[in-house]
């Protein structure tokens, strides 16, 4: 029998973000500021080493910091990323300087039930770099051979010392693990990270992606999902906005949207609610007369035509732009839906999100380096020609509402992006009022 002995932090799970966040808050509450680099310097060791480096000698402060971490760590579990490549291995025992209780709770959070055992710091007299944890694991779980997976110098030293301690009775290999986590850009400000070929996204709108998957809409393979986050495959393709062609993609795009629209979905949110949320954003720009007028114009039109809007309810993606569709082997794969039970859901919202892309939304905000003006203009014309005349002005107003709703977030992210979004909303309003897209609006 062969057993895999795995360190926990930064090997079986990438916990650095979670530990940094919880310890930074714990130290801050006691008047100290620490950096991620300082915590990385003691990885694989005890937080006591950081106390010593910072010359924190007060026992009550030390105790309170450790207690805060123990009591609040659970609320940071969503920032932990499981290393699925190692988690999926058979016959594994965890050997760590972390507490057995913390490890067990994290395993429970991620629904991992096939671990043979846990050797935490509370089960040995001496932690790594002493060999005790690995020697105990070998004696507790006898096998013919072992592979030890470690990341830190502390852990590697413990593994080497354990091999010497148990002698030549066992065949033991050591593999050094170096997890590389990259952060990806998320348009809505959500934390999106990539570990190996998996995407870990902190989001509360996971149910939409699960709904799409259950209804055979092409989405990335999903490995884990709860109310806090979702873990799925990284799709190695290209964003549709980078290569959109009306000849190649328009029919597929409309068929995809139509299949999403057909999903059985009943939503109690009304047009009134949608408008109220739109109006709640307008208060951030009360000193800007042009934006105030634009918000009021958009809200009034939606309310005047709410009978049509309410009639056209359906399930929708919620952010159906060309940057949320991936092309792989000529197939279209949907990512990043943004809809939940408390939002208005209508296929018209998806159509109007596509209209954002026809204005070069992705190019304007740096998601794509290719403007593709000719094809995008063709996409807009094709969309308008596919709609009944009564829906054309409504989807244009809904497009305006999307630009208006993003203003608050763009202002929070950066002044330059905000100015780009503001200019676009004013431009759209002028077009609507001048009927430049052949709409008949009431104003």
The token duo for 238 is 């290209």
- The Cα 428–Cα 43 span in angstroms is 53
Q: What is the pLDDT of residue 378?
A: 96
CA angle 192, 194, 200 (to 5 degrees): 50
Contact 214, 345 (CB under 8 A): no
Q: How far apart are CA 177 and CA 134, in angstroms?
A: 17
Average pLDDT over residues 184-213: 84
* pLDDT category of residue 272 using cuts at 50, 70 and 90: confident
Whether residue 440 is predicted with pLDDT greater than 70 in this model: the reply is no
CB neighbours of 36 closer than 8 A, spacing ≥ 6? 16, 20
| 31, 133: one domain | yes
CATH of residue 415's domain is: 3.90.1200.10
* Band of residue 268 on the pLDDT scale cut at 50, 70, 90: low
Residue 200, in any domain of the structure: no
Last residue of a domain, one of 161, 176, 191: 176
What is the reported pLDDT for 53? 92
Q: Which of 176, 200, 220 is the endpoint of a domain?
A: 176
354 and 266 together in one domain:
yes
Confidence of residue 266 (pLDDT cuts 50, 70, 90): low
User: Same domain, yes or no, for 172 and 271?
Assistant: no
pLDDT at 172: 96
pLDDT above 90 covers a percentage of the chain that reads 82
Q: Where in the sequence is the domain holding 345, given as residue range(s)?
A: 237-433
Q: What is the pLDDT of residue 186?
A: 62
| Average pLDDT value for residue range 178-205 | 85
Higher pLDDT, 111 or 340: 111
**pLDDT tens for each residue of 337-362:** 887 666 788 999 999 999 999 999 99
What does the pLDDT average to over 164-176? 92
> What pLDDT was estimated at residue 61?
95
Q: How far apart are CA 29 and CA 18, in angstroms?
A: 17
Mean per-residue pLDDT for 427-433?
Answer: 92
pLDDT above 70 coverage of the chain, percent: 96
Count the domains in the chain. 2
251 with 145, same domain: the answer is no
pLDDT at 188: 59
Full 3-state SS string of the chain: CEEEEECCECCCEECHHHHHHHHHHHHHCCCCCCCHHHHHHCCCCCHHHHHHHCCCCCHHHHHHHHHHHHHHHHHHHHHCEECHHHHCCCCEEEECCCCHHHHHHHHHHCCCCCCCEEECHHHCCCCCCCCHHHHHHHHHCCCCEEEEEECCHHHHHHHHHHHHHHCCCCEEEEEECCCCEEEECCCCCCCEEEECCEEEEECCCHHHHHHHHHCCCCCCCEEEECCCEEEEECCCCEEHHHHCCHHHHHHHHHHHHHHHHCCCCCCCCCHHHHHHHHHHHHHHHCCCHHHHHHHHHHHHHHHHCHHHHHHCECCCCCCCCHHHEEEECCEEEECCCCCCCCCCCEHHHHHHHHHHHHCCHHHHCCCCCCCCHHHHHHHHHHHHHHCCCCCHHHHHHHHHHHHHHHHHHHHHHCHHHHHHHHHHHHHHHHHHHCCCCCCCCCC
Answer whether residue 12 shows pLDDT above 70.
yes
- pTM recorded for the entire structure: 0.84
Q: Name the region of 188 (left: φ>0; alpha: ψ -120 to 50; beta: rest).
A: alpha
CA–CA dist 439, 391 (Å, integer): 10
pLDDT over 90 at 194, yes or no: yes
Q: What is the β-pairing status of strands 92-95 and 117-119? A: parallel
Q: At residue 208, does pLDDT exceed 80?
A: yes
- Sole residue written with tokens 């002044």: 415
**pLDDT grade for 441, boundaries at 50, 70 and 90:** very low
**If you average pLDDT over every residue of the chain, what do you get?**
92
Residue 403 within a domain: yes
The whole-number average pLDDT for the span 364-383 is 91
Nearest-angstrom CA–CA distance, 129 and 131 = 6
Dist. CA 336–CA 341, nearest whole Å: 16
Confidence band of 439 (pLDDT split at 50, 70, 90): very low
Residue 442 lies in a domain: no
| Number of neighbouring beta carbons within 10 Å of residue 165 | 13
**281 lies in some domain:** yes
CB 236 within 8 A of CB 308: no
User: Which two three-digit tokens encode residue 416?
Assistant: 């330059």
Are residues 170 and 285 located together in one domain of the fold?
no
Looking at residues 263-289, what average pLDDT do you find?
87
Write out pLDDT tens, residues 133-164.
999 999 999 999 999 999 999 999 999 999 99
171 vs 44 pLDDT, higher one: 171
Structural domain contains residue 441: no
- pLDDT at residue 251 tops 50: yes
pLDDT(293) > 60 = yes
Q: Per-residue confidence at 370, pLDDT binned at 50, 70, 90?
A: confident
Of 131, 156, 176, the one marking the end of a domain is: 176
Q: Provide the token pair at 123.
A: 């089960």
pLDDT for the residue numbered 371 = 81
């Amino acid at each position: 029998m062969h057993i895999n002995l795995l360190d926990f932090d930064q090997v079986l799970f990438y916990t650095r973000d979670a530990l940094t966040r919880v310890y930074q808050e714990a130290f801050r509450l006691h008047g100290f500021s620490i950096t991620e680099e300082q915590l990385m310097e003691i990885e694989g060791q005890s937080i006591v080493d950081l106390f010593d480096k910072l010359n924190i000698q007060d026992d009550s402060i030390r105790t309170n910091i450790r207690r805060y971490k123990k009591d609040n760590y659970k609320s940071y579990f969503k920032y932990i990323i499981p290393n699925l490549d190692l988690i999926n291995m058979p016959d594994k025992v965890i050997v760590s300087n972390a507490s057995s209780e913390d490890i067990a709770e994290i395993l429970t959070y991620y629904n991992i039930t096939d671990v043979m055992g846990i050797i935490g710091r509370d089960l040995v007299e001496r932690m790594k770099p002493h060999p005790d944890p690995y020697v105990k694991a070998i004696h507790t779980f006898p096998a013919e051979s072992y592979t030890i997976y470690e990341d830190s110098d502390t852990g590697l030293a413990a593994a080497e010392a354990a091999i010497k301690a148990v002698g030549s009775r066992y065949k033991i290999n050591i593999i050094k693990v170096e997890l590389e986590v990259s952060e990806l850009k998320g348009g809505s400000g959500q934390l999106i990270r990539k570990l190996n070929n998996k995407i870990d996204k902190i989001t509360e709108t996971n149910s939409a992606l699960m709904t799409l998957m259950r209804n055979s809409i092409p989405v990335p393979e999903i490995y884990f999902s709860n109310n806090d986050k979702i873990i799925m495959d990284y799709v190695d393709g290209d964003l549709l906005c980078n290569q959109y062609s009306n000849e190649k993609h328009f029919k597929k795009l409309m068929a995809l949207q139509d299949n999403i629209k057909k999903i059985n979905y009943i939503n109690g949110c009304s047009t009134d609610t949608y408008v109220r949320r739109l109006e709640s954003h307008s208060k951030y720009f009360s000193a800007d007369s042009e934006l105030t007028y634009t918000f009021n114009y958009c809200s009034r039109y939606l309310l005047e035509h709410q009978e049509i809007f309410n009639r056209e309810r359906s399930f929708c993606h919620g952010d159906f732009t060309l940057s949320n569709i991936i092309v792989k082997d000529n197939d279209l794969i949907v990512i990043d839906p943004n809809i939940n039970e408390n939002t208005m859901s209508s296929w018209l919202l998806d159509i109007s999100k596509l209209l954002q892309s026809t204005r070069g939304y992705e190019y304007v905000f740096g998601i794509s380096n290719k403007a593709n003006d000719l094809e995008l203009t063709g996409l807009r014309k094709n969309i308008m020609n596919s709609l009944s005349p009564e829906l054309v002005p409504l989807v244009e107003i809904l497009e305006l509402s999307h630009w208006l709703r993003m203003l608050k977030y763009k202002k929070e992210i950066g002044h330059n992006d905000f100015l780009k979004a503001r200019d676009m909303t004013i431009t759209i309003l002028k077009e609507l009022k001048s009927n430049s897209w052949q709409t008949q609006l009431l104003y």
